[in-house]
Amino acid sequence: MLKRQIGTLFLATCLILTTVPAALSAQNTITVNPTSGSGAQTAINNAINSVASKATPSNPGVVILSAGTYKISAPIVLKSNVVLKGSGDGTIIFATGSVCNSEGAPGYIFGSGVSNVEVSHLQFQSTATGPKDGGHGSYRNCIRFISVSNAKVHDILFDRYLYGDGVRISKSSGINVYNCRIQSSGHDGVSFLSGTKNSRMYNNYVEVQTNTGVRVDNCANIEVDHNTFTGSAGSGWCCVQLQNTLTNVKVHHNIMHDFKGSSSSAGVGNWNAKGSISVHDNVMWNVSPYVQVGSGSNILGPSDHNVNNWVAKGYGYGSLGNS
Q: pLDDT digit string (tens) for 283-314?
A: 999 999 999 999 999 999 999 999 999 999 99
Say how far apart CA 148 and CA 163 lie, in whole Å. Answer: 23
* Kind of pairing between the strands at 109-112 and 143-146: parallel
C-alpha 197/C-alpha 185 separation (Å) is 23
| Reported pTM | 0.90
- Specify whether the CB–CB gap between 128 and 135 falls below 8 A: no
- Predicted confidence (pLDDT) per residue in 119-178, tens digit: 999 999 988 887 767 555 566 789 999 999 999 999 999 988 787 789 999 999 999 999
State pLDDT tens for residues 42-81: 999 999 999 999 999 999 999 999 999 999 999 999 999 9
Neighbours of 305 (CB within 10 A): 13
**209 vs 189: CA distance, rounded Å:** 8
Residue 92 sits at the vertex; the CA angle it makes with 91 and 96, to the nearest 5 degrees, is 165
Q: How far is residue 45's CA from residue 134's CA, in Å, rounded to a whole number?
A: 25
The mean pLDDT of 244-248, rounded to a whole number, is 98
**pLDDT of 9 over the 60 cut:** no
pLDDT at 19 > cutoff 70:
no
Strand-pairing partners, residue 205, are: 181, 228
